[in-house]
Structure 1
Amino acid sequence: MNEWLDDFKTAVGFLTRLPMPHPEGAMPPNFVRAQRMFPIVGAMIGAAVGLLCLGSRHIGVPDLAAAALALGVGAMLTGALHEDGLADVADGFGGGRDVAAKLEIMRDSRLGTYGALVLLVSFATKLSALAAIPDGYVVQSLIAVHALARGVLPWMAISQPYARTDGLAANAGRPDAATAATAAAFAFAIAWLSLSFVNALLAAIMAAAGAIGMAWLAKRQIGGQTGDVLGGAEQVAETAILVLLAARLA
């Protein structure tokens, strides 16, 4: 039981800006195992974002504005961790002439044209999709979206080679199959509890498709995964699932 609690704290500390004690300047020793808790922490993030969106609607805030505020607070809660990864991937893949140049651009903390454009498209897509989801499904949808989008990350981590020997992904280590399977099971169970079985299944397929697509692209562009690639995959999955649910529930 203590291990599960430790893993939960580590996942919260990594995926959010909530203060959690960990070794200064070092990756917590249980980080790889803690990835099994990513969907649970993701569900909590989704619940917070969804309640804010729904509450804003109930006090008369227009749907688009409520969605924008909720997405903004969600980014603040997570420190825009995954959005930063998506932007770095777009800048690197779009601006680099070869693998070395792409990886170097991805290390650069400055935001480039490709990254800005991709973030704009991603935010606008999520904004319009969330605004289209009816009140009765907002919280449940966001819980499922955030759980599933993080539930695919351990599978990506074990299925792809490292694009470089240093960096977040390589330093963190690779989870084992049991950890990845646990994360996937938690993610689907949360989605099923939040949505109908059909919608949960379709959302899970969409999350897997987004992760597979990002993995394929990263393999072609830089030869494997980095932490930015994993963050970008989370954002792709999140956006795709929101669009799916908006189409089915609106």
Structure 2
Amino acid sequence: MRFIEILAASFSFFSRIPVPKILLPEREPPYPMMLAVSPLVGGILGAIWGGIGAILSLRFAALGAAWASALIYVLLGWGLHLDGLSDVADGWGSGESGATLKEVIKDCHCGPYGVVALVLTLGFWTSLLFALPTWRWITIGIMVGASGRWAMCCASCIGRYPWKSGMALPFVQDFSVKEILYALLCFAIFFLLGPWLWILSFFSTTFIGALVALWAQKRIGGVSGDVLGTIEVLAELCALAAIALFTL
């Protein structure tokens, strides 16, 4: 299968932007490779919300532009990962473990801990973006978006899928060293845009991806789709925090 077809399938799955059918593969795509090329998808989405936010900041207050960027990002497809974050937050807040914890996380309803997690995440995300120069938002968006997906790849390589079925099963179960090398290559493409930003993003998101994956292995027996979404969001926050801390 051609690389462009895999990238188009990944873009179609991880974003809400319509992809022309002519670019999509005719047969079922290799899901682990779709995840492996997702750093490219994240970089493109980051360029979009970063670029629009930077343009809006020319006319409106930077804080308002940062919130607008967050809204745009959610509409572009980030909402899928925020949903995973809210589910895992409810599971963590329940104080349960094992099978009961799995059921809480799999429950599609958003509880109080999930709501608090979403509010804090969006507030923290926009505050960090606001603290950074608006003229750098495009580059920062690319790095942050790509590194968040890189963290998901790290987690998929470390963990196994905890249930017999689920949306993320084909992505995680066969994710191997080959896919993580492809993912690293797709992420490394952005190195020249800002070596220092890339290094900060790489180490912070690799750490958070591995840490949450190990926690999930211990508490629910593996890395589910909700866990991947949580990792993506937390990794972006860590990348933004690292960039704000060491570049200002």
- Is the TM value for this pair above 0.5? yes
Q: CA RMSD in A?
A: 1.8
CA distances 1:149-169 after superposition (whole Å, capped 9, x unpaired): 102322311211222221122
Identity of aligned residues (%): 26
Q: Distance in 2 between matches of 1:161 and 1:35?
A: 15
Q: Distance in 2 between matches of 1:46 and 1:36?
A: 17
Aligned counterpart, 1:72:
71
Aligned counterpart, 1:237:
235
**Partner amino acid, structure 2, of 1:218:** A
Mean Cα deviation higher: 34-43 or 228-237: 34-43
- Indicate which of 241, 245, 248 corresponds to 1:247: 245
User: Is 1:125–1:243's contact at 8 Å kept on the other side of the alignment?
Assistant: no
Aligned counterpart, 1:155:
154
* Secondary structure in 2 matching 1:58: coil
**Partner amino acid, structure 1, of 2:33:** R
Aligned counterpart, 1:123:
122
| 1:77 CA drift (Å) | 0.7
CA spacing shift, 1:116–1:212, aligned 2, 3 Å: same
- Indicate which of 211, 214, 218 corresponds to 1:213: 211
CA distances 1:209-249 after superposition (whole Å, capped 9, x unpaired): 11012112212221211011011000110011011112233
* Secondary structure in 2 matching 1:152: helix
CA distances 1:26-49 after superposition (whole Å, capped 9, x unpaired): x94322222221011111000000
Q: Could you list the runs of 4 or more consecutive aligned residues of structure 1 that deviate by over 3 angstroms after TM superposition?
A: none
Q: Distance in 1 between matches of 2:136 and 2:98?
A: 43
Aligned residues: 242
**Partner amino acid, structure 1, of 2:44:** M
Contiguous gaps of at least 5 residues in structure 1:
none
User: Is 1:141–1:194's contact at 8 Å kept on the other side of the alignment?
Assistant: no
**Partner amino acid, structure 2, of 1:207:** T
User: Is 2:32–2:174's contact at 8 Å kept on the other side of the alignment?
Assistant: yes
**Partner amino acid, structure 1, of 2:166:** G
Q: Distance in 2 between matches of 1:116 and 1:80?
A: 13
User: Is 1:52–1:70's contact at 8 Å kept on the other side of the alignment?
Assistant: yes
User: Is 1:10–1:30's contact at 8 Å kept on the other side of the alignment?
Assistant: no
Q: Distance in 1 between matches of 2:73 and 2:4?
A: 23
User: Is 1:96–1:105's contact at 8 Å kept on the other side of the alignment?
Assistant: no
Aligned counterpart, 1:202:
200
1:66-215 correspondence runs (5 A): 66-78=65-77, 80-95=79-94, 97-172=96-171, 173-190=173-190, 192-195=191-194, 197-215=195-213
User: Is 1:86–1:228's contact at 8 Å kept on the other side of the alignment?
Assistant: yes
CA spacing shift, 1:74–1:39, aligned 2, 3 Å: same
User: Is 2:205–2:239's contact at 8 Å kept on the other side of the alignment?
Assistant: yes
Q: Distance in 2 between matches of 1:199 and 1:18?
A: 27
User: Is 1:46–1:146's contact at 8 Å kept on the other side of the alignment?
Assistant: yes
TM-score, normalisation: structure 2: 0.91
Aligned counterpart, 1:34:
34
